[in-house]
Structure 1
Amino acid sequence: MSQPYVVHLNPVAFQLGPVQVHWYGLMYLLGFFGAIVLGEYRRRRGRLPVSREALSDLFFYGMMGVIVGGRVWYMLFYYAGGPRWIWTDPLALFKVWDGGMSFHGGLLGVLAASLWWSRRHKLHFFDTVDFVAPLIPLGLGLGRLGNFINGELWGKPGTVPWAMVFPQAHGEDVQYVAGHPAWAEALQRYGGLPRHPSELYELALEGVVMFAVLWLVSMKPRPRYLVSGLFALMYGCFRFAVEFVRVPDPQLGYLFGTSWVTMGQMQSLPLVVVGLLLLWMSRRAPVLPLAEGGAKG
């Protein structure tokens, strides 16, 4: 294969005095901002009969849900050493500068915030979730782009023409070659093993494809549960598939003594089941009518 692309990008977008602003953080901000803009667009077209102020509250609570849920879930299921931090180092929960966020936990956080907000505004929970679902893939895709810029969450070694070298994986490359001598030449030639850019796979599937499908489907009023079901089913399937070419979290490795089952796959399977159930429920569910004349305020 030809010389692979080397992922060696500067994770710092810009610096203001002693403060460094990282691309990964900017991706989160852009994801939230994009959701707000698209959500207001949908609200004004009557997709949810609430005021602009009420929708702003939903986005604020949802943002808190992403941060709190994503962090707590990571600490419970992905943190090195397991949940012993709860009684040995409880302050580790707040050390967000050490990294560690989980999509599945962030999703649960958003759902919890949506449930509380829906009850407060006397709306059906799944009408809210159907409204929010098409807005999430934008943030998912931007988050994966941030992972790629950071050169993290790389894939397994591969010979595909678009395989890339991740310098931060050099230590792992050396260990891999020790057990797979056939890759020694590639390591010597390229200075690192060509790997699947799994972050870009997830950007394409969880970001671009999911956004396009959900946005197009939700352009017209649909039965309750349909959009939420599509979101859960697509994310579960896409994440489960990409995990086959993505290196698992080093502190966890593969589960159950296998060479392919990952925590990401185990946590994505329930989404596939929930997605299928919601799609089945949507067959006899009502369609939320548009607010007359579009939403006001």
Structure 2
Amino acid sequence: MTYPQIDPVLISFGPIAVRWYGLMYVLGFLGGYLVISNRLKKTLPRAPGDLTQELLLWCGIGLLLGGRLGYVLFYQWMNLDWYLKNPIEIIAIWHGGMSFHGGLVGAALAGFTLLKKRKTPLLPAADAACLAAPIGLGLGRIGNFINGELYGRITELPWGMVFPGAGPLPRHPSQLYEMVLEGPVLFFLLWMLKDRVKPGQVSVLFIIGYSLARFLVEFVRQPDPQLGLVISFLTMGQILSLAQAALGVIFWYITSRLD
């Protein structure tokens, strides 16, 4: 298949450019706001009216900082001395390079801090945020596809695509695989189960569901060039996903014992 050459810049006004990737982030936050607000009205009807905005803001900041720090620790550990000598680069998100697993930790810590400060029950709010997360994930993968980044390994399948800068051979459009699994598939699974599980378990299902989707797609996604395969046939993304899934199983056991 022919890779659609979509200009990453949606529209520009002189030196100011609006990129598709940035638009995906904006749409993700808007969709997240609607889902979180709707869910909190049902599960936390006495929650402050501005909790949704604050939760998105705090989690968004935690996501960016945690995602960047996770990238440096997990994917650039061999260059850690250089980062310590140039500490501004540790938070230089404008240079690219983010880790979802680090971002999840950062968002969770930021959300926990906010909810504790606002004296708001943790589990229902966490479930609302995790229910909305697949919207941003799916849209983000569309942005990756438009940018022609995070492409897959070489394939002979008929839907393989030749990505710019990835050589002449067709590759898996792994961004689209992740978009489907991490976006609509995971969202509808969580949506169907949201009223059938205990508080906190939507969050656990999100953790396990994302880990499974990411682990599977990593088999056809091009490994990070600076790392390659880390342990046998496993990539760093798969190792982190396995650890995240294990934590999910532990959290499921804990939440299943809650009254």
| TM-score, length-scaled by structure 1 | 0.82
Please give the secondary structure, in 1, of the residue aligned with 2:50.
helix
1:281 has 2:254 as partner = yes
Please give the secondary structure, in 2, of the residue aligned with 1:248.
coil
Does the C-alpha gap of structure 1 residues 7 and 251 become closer, same or farther in structure 2, counting only changes over 3 Å? farther
* Offset of residue 7 of structure 1: 4.0
Gaps in structure 1 of 5+ consecutive residues: 171-191, 287-297
Picking from 217, 221, 241, the partner of 1:242 is 217
Distance 2:241 2:46 in 1: 32
Gaps in structure 2 of 5+ consecutive residues: none
Q: How does 1:65-84 map to 2 (within 5 A)?
A: 65-79=62-76, 81-84=78-81
Distance 2:77 2:117 in 1: 38
* Offset of residue 205 of structure 1: 0.4
Q: For the Cα contact (< 8 Å) 1:62–1:110, is it kept in 2?
A: yes
Aligned to 2:135: 138
1:198 has 2:174 as partner = yes
Aligned to 1:166: 163
1:224 has 2:224 as partner = no
Identify which of structures 1 and 2 has the higher relative contact order when contacts are C-alpha pairs closer than 8 Å and 6+ apart.
1
**Range moving further from structure 2, 220-229 or 55-64:** 220-229
Distance 1:27 1:84 in 2: 34
1:253 has 2:253 as partner = no
Q: For the Cα contact (< 8 Å) 2:43–2:124, is it kept in 1?
A: no
* Offset of residue 43 of structure 1: 2.1
Please give the secondary structure, in 2, of the residue aligned with 1:141.
helix
* Offset of residue 210 of structure 1: 0.6
Please give the secondary structure, in 1, of the residue aligned with 2:10.
strand
* Offset of residue 262 of structure 1: 0.6
Please give the secondary structure, in 1, of the residue aligned with 2:120.
coil
| TM-score, length-scaled by structure 2 | 0.93
* Offset of residue 251 of structure 1: 1.3
Distance 1:216 1:38 in 2: 14
Aligned to 2:243: 270
Which one-letter code corresponds to 1:165 in the other structure? V
Distance 1:53 1:227 in 2: 22
Distance 2:156 2:184 in 1: 25
Does the C-alpha gap of structure 1 residues 221 and 119 become closer, same or farther in structure 2, counting only changes over 3 Å? farther
Q: Provide the identity percentage.
A: 41
